[in-house]
A and B are shown apart, each in its own frame.
Chain A
Amino acid sequence: MGDFPAVRLHVVSGKGGTGKTTVAAALALALAHGGRRVLLVEVEERQGIAQLFDTPPLPYQERKVAVAPGGGDVYALAVDTEEALLDYLHMFYKLSPNGLPARTLRRIGAIDFATTIAPGVRDVLLTGKIKEAVTRKDGTRPWYDAVVVDAPPTGRIGRFLNISHEVGGLAKVGPLKAQSDSVMKVLSSKQTAVHLVTLLEEMPVQETRDAVEELTALGLPVGGVVVNMVRSSQLTPAQLRSVEDGTAPQEDVAAGLAAQGLEPGLGTALLAQAADHAERVTLEEQGRDVLAHLGRPTYELPLLSEVDLGALYELAQMLRDQGAA
């Protein structure tokens, strides 16, 4: 099923402004299709998922936010670093969040230190929580069929996922090291794919290319490339060329406009506007070429005027149709 049958952890990154939260949500819906249970995780404390699904801000708790066609469930979780640390202390050290040691840690500022100041700890906690969700069991089968992460942007994705490097410098042995190793094992396994969301614009395309290179060098599995907000042109390639190089027949346009009772003089303005459009289409084609050379499965999603819940279902269906899920 889909291009990533072995993958259970889908990490979605992309340059800022490319719509990675929307794509992550649509992918979660697509993966849940047909009665599967999927968790959508947010790590940047922006509450983007709650806004997309039109629900109140998410607590640090897995909560059902949508039902996929065919009966699957999408749960969502906004990971809060401090809660994740208390959770971690509870899980591994049986320290109750309200017990004396946890309270002492909080009072003296150790929790704050660990989650905001101590290097790398934050990412270990976030990825640790993700790993826990991926490996959680419901009897003998996995609790979640898939986990989708709305991850940090491409500029920081390598650092976010390559936690063993961050922690490695600090702890050569010991529990922190053991934890980061076990997380890293999942992140770099065949169970994981890092998908990159891009637009057909120069900078996002360039950053996608850089991210593929960086992730590959780090031994992290790159998944697919999702080209978001694609606009199709109303003009044929030949028309675009004629508009761009100024050979378009102005008289014909003026006559066409006049025939419809429109001001023939508008033709000049419309042609100028279309030339701008044609330039953009040319740049988009160049972007497509660059992406094609990355050799990753590529999916395209159209530009939508409003991303509401209905639109998410549409995008999910498109991802399924193209084999992303």
Chain B
Amino acid sequence: MRTHELPKAASRVDLEKVLDTAEIIVCCGSGGVGKTTTAAALALRAAERGRRTAVLTIDPARRLAQAMGLDELDNTPRPVAGVDGALDAMMLDMKRTFDEIVLAHAEPAKAEQILANPFYQALSSSFAGTQEYMAMEKLGQLHATGDYDLVVVDTPPTRSALDFLDAPERLTTFLDGRLVKVLLAPAKAGGKAYLRVMSAGFSVFTNAITRIIGASVLQDLSQFVAAMETMFGGFRERAQTTYDLLKRPTTAFVVVAAPERDALREASYFVERLEKEQMPLAGVVLNRVHRSAAPSLTAERALAAAEQLDAGSLTAGLLRVHAERLSLVQREAHLKERFTGAHPDVSLIEVEALAGDVHDLEGLRRVGADLVA
């Protein structure tokens, strides 16, 4: 049924081989393109090909849970029933993951202090970006257990999904920056650090910040930074380790898109970003591609024939449905051509559109088969 063959990208990736050899697969893409389904289908296929696999989703909507037939996903990988192989699934609880890091890296008394700090609580449960960092942290943890041959991760449906790539650099800039020293100053009042930053603009700064956010907030923030300080080195190191892990040839990034203008524009952004960071991009999965069952009958011919028939007849209706389908197929082909034109070296893997959503393993298997076809 594959129709309207397009000039294939220069090097078409063999996804089956990726599934058999990769240790980490990261799926990224904009929302509403079937990213979670793709991640689950890849993981299921890898598991059924004999690899011990874990799939990690951080999407708050419980889509993967539904697809995997699990009622609840918590922060621990749980075996998925009905799989002919070993597949565990989990949904990221970012607060819990963050808490675990704090408990593992800080003295018990200090850990208590951090966990109770309002800044920490807000940071760990609602800060946009924490999710990405914690997903990569969890990915690192799962990979490090040695329990899995392959870990598949689904990322949040935003551009910030790749913010974790900036994490090492951003943390370093921040931690080595003067802001931390300034914020630490009240806690170390009288110390040398305080005197050093006291100079240029410091009093102006504290005055400004106190006016803007209020003295009590500044105090909480200062305490938070002081308590976290002991862990900072560890954070930076972990971020760097994850970054290096992602860059290894055993990692494969899969950008997920749909043949729609906006989704492909986002896919371009992800592809360019990954190329810039020299991250191993396996290819772009294009979900929801429409195909026609009768590609030889042109839309024009079908419509002309429908005109001649009784307008209300079934045959005329079928011909019109066909014409609509073909124009959709052509529109999608045009968008695909534009994308391949801009990224000639990126493999495009097409998955046919289904009428309904995938909610069971059988559906995931079909998607998995289509992914490697």
Q: Which of A95, A166, A233 contacts B126 (CB 8 A)?
A: A166
B76 interfacial by beta-carbon distance below 8 Å: no
Interfacial chain A residues near B258, Cβ < 8 Å:
17
Instruction: Report Cα–Cα, A95/B208, bound state, in Å.
Output: 9
Cβ of A170 within 8 Å of any chain B Cβ, yes or no, is: yes
A44-B327 Cα distance, complex, nearest whole Å: 32
- The minimal Cβ–Cβ distance linking B207 to chain A, given in whole angstroms, is 8
**B-contacting 9-mer, from A55-63, A130-138, A202-210, A309-317:** A202-210
Known: A234-B324, A257-B305, A274-B321. A174 touches B179 (CB 8 A): no
Pairwise interchain contact B177-A16, C-beta atoms closer than 8 A: no
Report the bound CA distance from A43 to B216 in whole Å: 29
Given contact pairs A105-B205, A109-B179, A166-B122, A234 touches B211 in the complex (Cβ within 8 A): no
Interface residues of B in 294-329 (CB under 8 A from A): 294, 297, 301, 305, 308-309, 312-322, 324-325, 327
Question: Contacts A236-B317, A257-B315, A283-B355: A170 and B178 contacting too (C-beta < 8 A)?
Answer: no
| Residues in B whose Cβ lies below 8 Å from that of A223 | none
- Confirm or deny: B263 has a beta carbon within 8 angstroms of a beta carbon on chain A: yes
Are A256 and B315 closer than 8 Å at their CB atoms? Answer: yes
In Å, the complex CA distance between A307 and B128 comes to 31
Q: Are A153 and B314 in contact (CB under 8 A)?
A: no
Kindly state whether residue B190 has any CB partner on chain A within 8 Å.
no
Is B65 an interface position by the 8 A CB rule?
A: no
* Nearest-CB residue, chain A, relative to B182: A108
Answer whether A252 and B314 are a contact pair too, CB < 8 Å, given A119-B119, A305-B331. yes
Interface residues of A in 77-100 (CB under 8 A from B): 89, 92-93, 95, 100
B314 and A242 contacting across the interface, CB-CB below 8 Å: yes
- Residues of chain A within 8 A of B179, CB atoms compared: 108-110, 113
CB atoms of A101 and B208 under 8 A apart: yes
Q: How far is the CB of B308 from chain A (nearest CB, A)?
A: 6
New A-B contacts (12) at CB < 8 Å, excluding given A15-B31, A270-B293: A101-B207, A108-B178, A119-B122, A174-B217, A176-B212, A203-B61, A231-B324, A234-B324, A235-B317, A253-B314, A273-B292, A305-B331
Residues of B within 8 A of A (CB): 30-33, 59-61, 63, 118-119, 121-123, 126-129, 157-159, 170, 173-174, 177-179, 182, 200-202, 204-205, 207-209, 211-217, 220, 258, 260-263, 265, 292-294, 297, 301, 305, 308-309, 312-322, 324-325, 327, 331, 355-357
Listed A/B pairs (20) with beta-carbon separation below 8 Å: A103-B201, A107-B201, A109-B178, A153-B157, A155-B61, A166-B126, A169-B118, A169-B121, A171-B213, A174-B213, A175-B213, A177-B214, A203-B357, A252-B313, A256-B314, A261-B305, A273-B318, A273-B325, A274-B318, A280-B355
